[in-house]
Amino acid sequence: GESVGLHLPTLSVQEGDNSIINCAYSNSASDYFIWYKQESGKGPQFIIDIRSNMDKRQGQRVTVLLNKTVKHLSLQIAATQPGDSAVYFCAEIFNQGGKLIFGQGTELSVKP
Amino acid sequence: EAGVVQSPRYKIIEKKQPVAFWCNPISGHNTLYWYLQNLGQGPELLIRYENEEAVDDSQLPKDRFSAERLKGVDSTLKIQPAELGDSAVYLCASSPDPDRNNEQFFGPGTRLTVL
């Protein structure tokens, strides 16, 4: 069936370094891809999204890259801070009225 | 602006007991979702409401789970009877309208432990 998955379950980085979290997806017809951050005891929080007609989108300290050729999505966090420590989920949606499908999650740990 | 409110935050019950979770979405958000999240996994949709109508309940185990959103605002998710495997976090989310499912705002969740 269709699925969204992550390559790495855990990622540990030094404070100040850049982080890259990867995600593979299988539904080539998905229209939106979204990154969520989930801190312990909280619900997922929207970080950034990208439509399928784009290959890059930048936010504040974050960049999402979409490679439709290999069905790959990545989240880059610049100058990673301790407050970035959380579990990051990628998610896909077929269209704006469709169901959100989440991947498994990657835990990011930032060392001071 | 207040976010999605859920209660209780934690619930511990014995198997075969009933349990209910409550959700108050962001004001003005017509679409409401209930998700189940197992440890280390992404949320999985249980049911989606547009106003008071359940438009997608295909993943809701209807033999023991039920949900309602009587006035199109607050919603309740119930499990009766609960089983050990129901231990998980139950998340509620809302979005402004049905065509903006990519803009979902999540509540903090209710962590259910079934003993």
From B40, B91, B101, residue closest to A93, measured CB to CB: B101
Interval B82-109: pLDDT, tens: 999 999 999 999 998 877 777 899 999 9
pLDDT higher than threshold 70 for residue A100: yes
What does the angle CA B21 – CA B107 – CA B5 come to, to the nearest 5 degrees? 65
Written as tens digits, the pLDDT of chain B (115 aa) is: 689 999 999 999 999 999 999 999 999 999 999 999 998 889 999 999 999 999 999 999 999 999 999 888 999 999 999 999 999 999 999 998 877 777 899 999 999 999 9
Q: Is A23 left (phi over 0), alpha (psi -120 to 50) or beta?
A: beta
On whether the CB atoms of residues B90 and B21 are closer than 8 A, the answer is: yes
On whether the CB atoms of residues A16 and A73 are closer than 8 A, the answer is: no
Contact A99 B100 (CB under 8 A): no
Tell me, what's the pLDDT at A2? 45
From B43, B56, B100, residue closest to A44, measured CB to CB: B43
Q: What is the residue-wise DSSP string for chain A?
A: ---EE-S-SEEEEETTS-EEEEEEE--TT--EEEEEEE-TTS--EEEEEEETT-SEEE-SSEEEEEETTTTEEEEEESS--GGG-EEEEEEEESSTTS-EEE---EEEEEE-
Mean pLDDT of A26-34: 89
Distance of CA A37 to the CA centre of its chain: 8
Task: Say yes or no: A54 contacts chain B, CB-CB below 8 A.
Answer: no
Which DSSP letter does residue B86 get?
Answer: G
Interval A34-77: pLDDT, tens: 999 999 999 999 999 999 999 999 999 999 999 999 999 999 99
Tell me, what's the pLDDT at A25? 86
Contacts A98 to B, Cβ<8 Å: 101
CA of B111, closest CA in chain A: separation in Å? 9
Cα B78 from Cα B80, distance rounded (Å): 7
Contact A44 B45 (CB under 8 A): no
- Please indicate whether residue A30 or residue A3 has the higher confidence score (pLDDT): A30
**Beta bridge mates, B88:** B112
Task: Say yes or no: A100 contacts chain B, CB-CB below 8 A.
Answer: yes
**Beta bridge mates, A83:** none
Contact B102 A103 (CB under 8 A): no
Contacts B99 to A, Cβ<8 Å: 96-97
